[in-house]
Amino acid sequence: MYLSIFLQASSSGSSLTSMLPFLAMILVLYFFMIRPQMNKQKKEKKFQAGIQKGTRVITTSGIHGKITEINDTDGTVTIETGAGKIKFERAAISLELSKKYQPKEKK
């Protein structure tokens, strides 16, 4: 009787140790891939919500220009480019590319 209780306890401990590598992989995946991507998306949304007229931006398709009009009702912006004015969704404006396009701040 004591032997069967001991064997049951050791088998449950064994299953836990066999699951440990999978749990570690999930944690690593979360902290190195999923969490940084979520933070990047939050920053992108904050940037897109805070754009103003006159801001120089680059769209995700690579079009450079200056924002001339913001339409909050349908979530679009009008960007003046060398070819004229083009209407884009706010989501098409890239934070990463637009940061490089902004003039450097003097300290």
Signed CA dihedral, 31, 34, 38, 40: sign only: positive
> Quick check: helix, strand or coil at residue 88?
strand
The tens digit of pLDDT for each residue in 51-83 reads 889 888 989 888 999 999 999 889 899 999 989
pLDDT of residue 6: 47
Per-residue pLDDT at 102 exceeds 90 = no
pLDDT tens per residue, range 3-47: 454 445 455 557 778 888 899 999 999 999 999 999 999 998 898
CB 26 within 8 A of CB 16: no
d(CA 41, CA 5): 51
pLDDT the model gives residue 15: 77
Flag the least confident range among 23-27, 59-63, 90-94, 98-102.
98-102
Residue 98 has pLDDT above 90, yes or no: no
